[in-house]
Amino acid sequence: MTYNEINSKMPSCAFEFLEDIRHLCEKEVNSPKVETNPKAITKKLKGFAKQYGACVVGITKLNESHIYTHRGRHEENYGEEINLNHKYAIVFGCEMNKEMINRSPMICEVIETSKCYVDASIVGMILSYFIRSLGYEARNHMDANYLVMPVLLARDAGLGDIGRNAILTNKIYGSRLRLGVVTTDLELEEDTYEDFGLEDFCNECKKCSFNCPSHSLSNDSKISNLGEYNWVIDHESCYTKWRYLGTDCGMCISACPFSQDLETIKNTTTFKNNKTLIDEALKEFKKKFGNRVFVPGNPPWLR
């Protein structure tokens, strides 16, 4: 639906580049090992990640729930069991431009998401190269080459929470983050999960599910009466819509009030047990955008 013989080449080229650098995610470790202080090296790594374009960085210990059991995606190793014995995950997010994402589901959206996949891959490559230069193991987990689950790691590393749209939602950037991960055996200092009341907010909001063009998101409460987790994506209906649109849609990202720099959200520490503030934020969203965010047309440089 959105295909353009020139503009559609832009995201395609980004993903082609990512495929070309995939083999660089794992390399030999230098020796000898440089002695480091966990507190000092953690500070350096977070600053280094931001120097290369990350807007948020967190660290958590790896556990089995973070790691895929078997490889997928690529024929050469499809189905192989994953054995990852790294201790820590450095998780970071690269911000997706609001005006581009607010043009979802048009071609601007996938140009921006693919660009930020590249941004995250570069941050991860540099961090992993740096850590290996100090004599420690490090692996970059990037588009089409994840052995871990970035969203779960980002939540546990304090970068946000998982909302109704099943995407990590950050207090500042909302769902407009593209995540990357570097795992390592380098000793680091951990961050902790922060609850800013996203579940309470999502229970009232439901904008992502109501705006989803494929009805792939649940309108129900997070946990059903039978104890089932409802806030998951119907992957088949979602991907079918992607194929029809020619983009990865993004409407659940733009529809999220946390993605839109609302003053009420910026000025609130937590929405937990605070329906009054949630209603105030939703009222501000409706005043600015109605029920749906959409910026029509392409930016001038794409016309």
pLDDT in the model for residue 198: 98
Question: In the prediction, which pLDDT does 63 show?
Answer: 96
- Cα 118 to Cα 166: distance, rounded to the nearest angstrom: 22
Q: What angle do CA 105, 108, 114 make, to 5 degrees?
A: 100
C-alpha 256/C-alpha 279 separation (Å) is 14
pLDDT at 207: 97
The strand order across the sheet containing 88-95 reads: 56-61, 88-95, 177-184, 138-141
Successive 10-residue mean pLDDT values, the chain, 303 residues: 95 98 97 97 98 98 97 95 97 98 97 98 98 98 97 98 97 97 98 97 97 96 92 97 96 97 96 97 96 93 94
What is the structure's pLDDT at 45?
98
Cα–Cα distances (Å) from 134 to 25, 31, 230, 294, in that order, read 16, 7, 44, 47
- Give pLDDT, residue 291: 87
Quote the CA–CA distance of 39 and 41 in Å, as a whole number.
Answer: 6
